[in-house]
Amino acid sequence: MIVLVFKFLTPKGFRGITLFPFILLTHKEDRGDLVVINHEKIHIRQQLELLIVPFFLWYGMEFLIRWLQFKNRFVAYRNISFEREAYANEKDLHYLKQRSFWNFLKYV
């Protein structure tokens, strides 16, 4: 995992984005935010489990389906199974130690 701060590479309104093996953050101070880093580390695990490229294909398809379902991009984003898992467990700093393989499926 390589943490970089690139204000202009993260989508507007987001604090970070994970593109294995990189975590790209908007603000320097987020490097020390354990919750933000844990959220992004959950995405790294998800990307590895799906062998990276299929993760992004699934993510994109699920986003489009949720967008059609909810008619709102932000609500669609928050309801993607990968994001639901990450947001639900970002404050549990030991989550990745006990997380089962493909646990994001519980959030579909």
User: How confident is the prediction along the chain (108 residues), in pLDDT tens digits per residue?
Assistant: 999 999 888 888 899 999 999 999 999 999 999 999 999 999 999 999 999 999 999 999 999 999 999 999 999 999 999 999 999 999 999 999 999 999 999 999
Alpha carbon separation from 107 to 21, 36, 62, 66, 88 (Å, rounded) = 24, 20, 12, 13, 10
Other beta carbons within 10 angstroms of residue 31's beta carbon come to 14
CA 30, distance to chain mean position in Å, is 15
Per the structure, how many domains does the chain have?
1
Using an 8 Å Cβ cutoff, are 24 and 30 in contact?
Answer: no
Residue 103, domain extent: 2-107
- Please give the structure tokens belonging to residue 58: 């699934």
0.85 surpassed by pTM: yes
